[in-house]
Amino acid sequence: MCGIAGKLFHDPTARVSSRDIERMTGAITHRGPDGRGLHLDGNVGLGHVRLSIIDLSTGAQPMTNEDETVWIVFNGEIYNFAALRERLQAKGHVFRSHSDTEVIIHAYEEFGPDCVKELRGMFAFAIWDAKRKRLFVARDRVGIKPLYYCRTDEAFYFASELKAIITEPAVPRAINLPGIRKFLAFHYLPGTETLFKDIHKLLPGHFLTVEQGRVTQQPYWDLKFTQQRWQISFDEATEELNGLLATAVRDHMIADVPVGILASGGVDSSAILNFAVHATDKKIKTFTVGFDGDQVVDERPFARLAAERFGTEHYETSISAADFWSFLPSYVWHMEEPVCEPPAVALYYVSKLARSHVKVLLSGEGGDEAFAGYPNYPNMLRLQQIRATLGPLARPVGAGAQWAGNAFDNEKWRRYGSALGRPLATQYFSRTSGPTGFFNRNAGSFFTPEFLARTATVSAAGFVSGLMVPVKDEPLLNQMLYVDSRTWLPDDLLVKADKITMANSLELRVPLLDHVVLEFAASLPAEFKVRERETKRILKATFAKSLPEEILKRKKAGFPVPYEAWLRGDLQQHVAEVVLSDRCLSRGYFEKGEVRRLLAANVRDGSFAKEVFCLLVLELWHRAFLDEAPAGTAARPEKPEPVEVHP
């Protein structure tokens, strides 16, 4: 795991200086504390910071081929590199190291841009082809590794993190106002946009080339829900899945440093643990985080149960409201994109614990998106059945439910009423929000007239409708899974997974997001994944004999940080001081009275915790990336006021 950065002047006579690249890599040293390197070639410069995982002695980067005409900086792991290396050697390629990085170089020489189709793993890399004067940049299929870029009139920049790009004084920090509106609609920012108008994300499953000042992008992979389903029984499918996961976890265990497991006590992480203990003769270390107090979901007992079943060396930590608050500015600085993801704070503290014992951590991230584990999937399927039963009455019944929801301020009635009153496939934003979400429903009153006017073109529903085109003929479950795989997964969950663990210089691997596993899951009939109220049906069936029944049947939680209680209790005043400050309101986005009403409503019943957290994160983002960081520097988090927490 590493960090990469680079700069390419469009003018071939211009020269990139070592200071430019060192400034960029200096902003992301947390991604690679074990080494730093750069390569300069006239108008191009490549930079790399290294976290040594494989081939500790000869894997330094930037790395080149034999005649130094192809150079690479690479972040990630290629799990099929040994087999690919043998194929390339058979074709005459000569290797000087045992690293997966060098395999990519020779694959590029052999296959050109199609080399990405040969790679099985997580990656973001840039190749400078000196003969062709071409910069080739690629990102893995699912978006496990991040990649940002910016094109100005003079140069092209790329990096693993946005903060490396804004160290360049020539990169403008113009705010992307429509992006703010989009963030509030989804609770994260999907697609290519960031909150900087001129900085973009390379989409998962895409590569781009920069030649003679022209930037071109191309997709090379997309998740396909095949119309011709696997002609196998449910039992045969569980056996096939068992074999695929065993292979994926075994490959993800490859490292020259200690590997541990992030254990939540859920089905996904316990399944990973089940395979991991059989993939090594070393004692596995497991790590989890919990929260003390009444009415708090604590995953530690379930994690202990899994640790006992598989005989691991188990470690735990816990966090408080004070810990949560003190980390928030750093959370925003590391995430770089505004994301409503409070569990990321818990992930920071447990990965900090893990880093004192291991350098690589495996997690069960992705099981819910691959095998339909969220409760909203069966809920939406049930609504589809009700709508079909009601027929022409669905719309008036839905309108009545919405009226009742507004009259009695019942969010659940409002949401279900909206779903009944319109085709479900056209109103599924993602699992975090939808057209009846607070900021969508109350846009006219909550936002200032000026902000509304400047963001009038934003249509979250239109964005999702465009995404659904490739799966418009698929069953509803597959449509929802596809939308989540293109939005929520890469732009919320995987942003958190990468950046928060890298904040502790720790590599996180996600075997359930191996693209072969994803393709297998997508090929299965919908009923193999959801049947009535049962979610993740095939995954649970696969591990019915190996996991404790208490884990298989427990209600989904997933690092359930009790931030809802903290925002209306210990942290209530501190949150108000941030989002109602003159500094925040002077940005001109929100009406002060509406913000007050939202905070008061959340204190009453806790039903708007996500919305409040969105406002808090958005303001902290402005302070870190616009107010506190002059041009030519990386952002730094502003320290919050200390919190007193009384028992």
Q: What does residue 284 show for φ and ψ, rounded to 5 degrees?
A: -80, 140
Note the pLDDT of residue 354: 95
What's the rounded Cα separation, in Å, for the pair 80 and 120? 6
What's the rounded Cα separation, in Å, for the pair 227 and 522? 10
What is the pLDDT confidence band of residue 436, given thresholds at 50, 70 and 90?
low
Q: Is the pLDDT of residue 536 over 90?
A: yes
What is the pLDDT confidence band of residue 254, given thresholds at 50, 70 and 90?
confident
Strands (E), 507-611: 507-509
Q: How many residues does the chain have?
A: 647
Under 8 Å between Cβ of 493 and 367: no
Domain count, the chain: 4
Q: What does residue 369 show for φ and ψ, rounded to 5 degrees?
A: -75, -30
What's the rounded Cα separation, in Å, for the pair 490 and 190? 8
Q: Is the pLDDT of residue 529 over 60?
A: yes
What is the pLDDT confidence band of residue 643, given thresholds at 50, 70 and 90?
very low
What's the rounded Cα separation, in Å, for the pair 606 and 613? 12
Note the pLDDT of residue 243: 95
What is the pLDDT confidence band of residue 552, given thresholds at 50, 70 and 90?
confident
Q: Is residue 558 part of a domain?
A: no
Q: Is residue 2 annotated as a catalytic residue, yes or no?
A: yes
Q: Is residue 557 part of a domain?
A: no
Print the SS3 string covering 447-516: ECHHHHHHCCCCCHHHHHHHHHHHHCCCCHHHHHHHHHHHCHHHHHHHHHHHHHHHCCCCEEECHHHCHH
Please give the average per-residue pLDDT across 294-304, as a whole number: 76
Under 8 Å between Cβ of 500 and 334: yes
Q: Sign of dihedral through CA atoms 92, 97, 103, 105? A: negative
Note the pLDDT of residue 293: 61
The catalytically annotated residue of 2, 340, 584, 614 is 2
CA-based nearest residue to 213, from 12, 23, 497? 12
The per-type count for the chain, helices as H runs and strands as E runs, is 29, 17
Q: Are 279 and 317 found together in one domain?
A: yes
CA 341 to chain centre: 10
Note the pLDDT of residue 480: 92
Q: Compute the mean pLDDT over every residue in the chain, rounded to the nearest whole number.
A: 89
Q: Are 11 and 123 found together in one domain?
A: yes
Please give the average per-residue pLDDT across 178-183, as a whole number: 96
What's the rounded Cα separation, in Å, for the pair 56 and 65? 19
Q: Are 357 and 444 found together in one domain?
A: no
Q: Which of 159, 191, 219 is the last residue of a domain?
A: 219
Q: Is the pLDDT of residue 646 over 50?
A: no
Using CA atoms of 104, 205, 121, 377 in order, give the dihedral in degrees to the nearest 10: 180
Please give the average per-residue pLDDT across 204-225, as a whole number: 96
Note the pLDDT of residue 647: 30
Kindly report whether the peptide bond that precedes residue 169 is cis, defined as omega within 30 degrees of 0. no
What is the pLDDT confidence band of residue 432, given thresholds at 50, 70 and 90?
low
Q: Is residue 167 part of a domain?
A: yes
Q: Which of 496, 531, 552 is the last residue of a domain?
A: 552
Q: Are 445 and 456 found together in one domain?
A: yes
Secondary structure (3-state) at 273? helix
Note the pLDDT of residue 300: 85
> Using one digit for the tens of pLDDT, what is the confidence trace for 559-596?
668 899 899 988 999 999 999 999 999 999 999 999 99
Q: Are 75 and 91 found together in one domain?
A: yes
User: Would you give the DSSP letter of residue 427?
Assistant: S
Please give the average per-residue pLDDT across 500-529, as a whole number: 94
CA 645 to chain centre: 31
Q: Which structure tokens are listed for 565?
A: 């209680």
Q: Are 115 and 19 found together in one domain?
A: yes
Note the pLDDT of residue 406: 77
Q: Which structure tokens are listed for 292?
A: 């003390």
Q: Is the pLDDT of residue 645 over 50?
A: no
> Using one digit for the tens of pLDDT, what is the confidence trace for 32-70?
988 899 999 999 999 999 887 665 556 789 999 999 999
Strand 285-290: give its sheet, edge to edge.
313-318, 285-290, 259-262, 360-362, 507-509
Q: Is the pLDDT of residue 259 over 80?
A: yes
Q: Is residue 412 part of a domain?
A: yes
Please give the average per-residue pLDDT across 522-547, as a whole number: 92
Q: Which of 188, 219, 250 is the last residue of a domain?
A: 219
Q: Is residue 228 part of a domain?
A: no
Q: What does residue 419 show for φ and ψ, rounded to 5 degrees?
A: -65, -40
Q: Is the pLDDT of residue 433 over 80?
A: no
> Using one digit for the tens of pLDDT, what is the confidence trace for 92-109?
999 988 889 999 999 999
Q: Are 544 and 582 found together in one domain?
A: no
Q: Is residue 632 part of a domain?
A: no
Q: Is the pLDDT of residue 424 over 70?
A: no
What's the rounded Cα separation, in Å, for the pair 277 and 297? 27
Note the pLDDT of residue 434: 62
Q: Are 456 and 311 found together in one domain?
A: no
Note the pLDDT of residue 55: 59
Q: Which structure tokens are listed for 631?
A: 């041009």
pTM: 0.93
Structural element, H or E, at residue 170:
none
CA 575 to chain centre: 25
Which of these ranges, 170-179, 342-351, 533-542, 633-642, has the smallest mean pLDDT? 633-642
- The CATH number for 309's domain is 3.40.50.620
Note the pLDDT of residue 296: 66
Question: For the chain, how long is the longest CA-to-CA vector?
Answer: 74
Strands (E), 212-295: 214-219, 259-262, 285-290
643 vs 498 pLDDT, higher one: 498
- The CATH number for 168's domain is 3.60.20.10
Q: Is the pLDDT of residue 498 over 60?
A: yes
What is the pLDDT confidence band of residue 364, given thresholds at 50, 70 and 90?
very high
Q: Is residue 466 part of a domain?
A: yes
What's the rounded Cα separation, in Å, for the pair 483 and 504? 31
What is the pLDDT confidence band of residue 547, given thresholds at 50, 70 and 90?
confident
Which of these ranges, 67-81, 256-270, 306-320, 429-443, has the smallest mean pLDDT? 429-443
Q: Are 310 and 324 found together in one domain?
A: yes
Q: Is the pLDDT of residue 138 over 60?
A: yes
> Using one digit for the tens of pLDDT, what is the confidence trace for 158-168?
999 999 999 99
Please give the average per-residue pLDDT across 375-392, as a whole number: 86
Q: Are 524 and 612 found together in one domain?
A: no
Q: Residue 517 is part of which domain span?
A: 234-372+487-552
Q: What share of the chain has pLDDT > 90, as a percent?
A: 69
Q: Which of 94-98, 207-211, 300-304 has the highest mean pLDDT?
A: 207-211
Q: Are 539 and 481 found together in one domain?
A: no
Note the pLDDT of residue 26: 95
Which of these ranges, 132-141, 337-346, 630-639, has the smallest mean pLDDT? 630-639
What is the pLDDT confidence band of residue 638, given thresholds at 50, 70 and 90?
low
What's the rounded Cα separation, in Å, for the pair 67 and 588? 56
Q: Is 187 left (phi over 0), alpha (psi -120 to 50) or beta?
A: left
Under 8 Å between Cβ of 182 and 168: no
> Using one digit for the tens of pLDDT, what is the confidence trace for 104-129?
999 999 999 999 999 999 999 999 99
Q: What share of the chain has pLDDT > 70, as a percent?
A: 91
Note the pLDDT of residue 448: 97
Please give the average per-residue pLDDT across 501-505, as a whole number: 94
Q: Are 393 and 454 found together in one domain?
A: yes
